[in-house]
Amino acid sequence: MTEIDNEIPFSGIDPRGRLKFNVLLEMFQEMADIDASKYNLSVRQTLEDNITWVLRKYRLDIKKYPTKESGFIKIKTYAEPYRNLFSLRTFQFWDSKGNFLGSAFTWWVLIDLLKNRPLRLDKSDYMSAFKEQISEELPKDVKIPDLKTPQIEENWKVRWQDLDVNDHVNHAVYFSWALDTVPKEVPENMVPMHVEGEFLRPIPRTRVLCLTEEVGSENGVSFLHSLRHIEDGSEYAKFSSFWQSSN
């Protein structure tokens, strides 16, 4: 388990004084790397044995959205098994005054790059450090419905700086594409409070189509998002986002 106070960079604040969503995800990534490195389980370390981590699912529940007034962001993270195939990494975060801001849950699989298949975590020598369940209750699995009638389309180009050490688009970029496709008045007045993602296959250097559909919701507005190959329409990932007023 690792706990660190993370400074909010000046460049990480949006025009309304709120922490940029992708910057929060990047903080989580850095925390995960620090914690996993203690056990030789960071991506950089596992790649030496032709093994890597691949993100499959993501859930973020925000109770109080971070702003420039939050001071630093204290983040605690740990990993544990989830149904033997997934490694569940949990994040909990607070502001500098000790106010609880929210939780994030990420589901990962360990991939053998030579055999191109996942490793069962309960049978892997790599996972000896993360085989003990820590949480009293594990979160529910992420299941995102398919879009039915998308109202918004946006094309995105994969840039070199979007790629990670696995030579695939970093997952924070997926979220940026999806959340940036909502109507412009939404991020002007609202913040994403509950966001989920399912990652179906990696995105190489190409162009990506993002489809977005607004769905009914109480006390806010909700969207479904789908990232697809721009030519054949095959799906790379799908997301849901729930937004509430930032006032």
CA–CA separation, 101 vs 65, rounded Å? 7
Closest CA to 158 of 103, 215, 208: 208
Does residue 154 contact residue 177 with C-beta atoms inside 8 Å?
yes
Share of residues in the chain with pLDDT > 70 (%)? 97
Residue 246 has a pLDDT of 77
Q: Distances in Å between the alpha carbon of 75 and those of 3, 42, 209?
A: 6, 18, 33
Min mean pLDDT across 92-101, 124-133, 203-212 is at 124-133
Mean pLDDT of the chain: 91
Query: What's the number of CA atoms in the CB half-sphere (13 Å) around residue 115?
Result: 8
What string of DSSP letters covers 119-177? EPGGG-GGGGGG-S---SSPPPPP--PPPSS--EEEEEEPPGGGB-TTSSB-HHHHHHH
CA–CA separation, 226 vs 4, rounded Å? 34
138-149 pLDDT tens trace: 889 999 999 999
157-172 pLDDT tens trace: 999 999 988 788 999 9
Residue 216 has a pLDDT of 78
**Residue 137: pLDDT band with limits 50, 70, 90:** confident
**Residue 222 pLDDT more than 90?**
yes
Q: Distances in Å between the alpha carbon of 78 and those of 74, 126, 235, 247?
A: 14, 16, 30, 32
Residue 129 has a pLDDT of 66
Residue 63 has a pLDDT of 97
Min mean pLDDT across 43-52, 73-82, 172-181, 222-231 is at 43-52
16-66 pLDDT tens trace: 999 999 999 999 999 999 998 998 888 888 888 888 889 999 999 999 999
**Residue 217 pLDDT more than 90?**
no
The model carries a pTM of 0.91
**Residue 126: pLDDT band with limits 50, 70, 90:** low
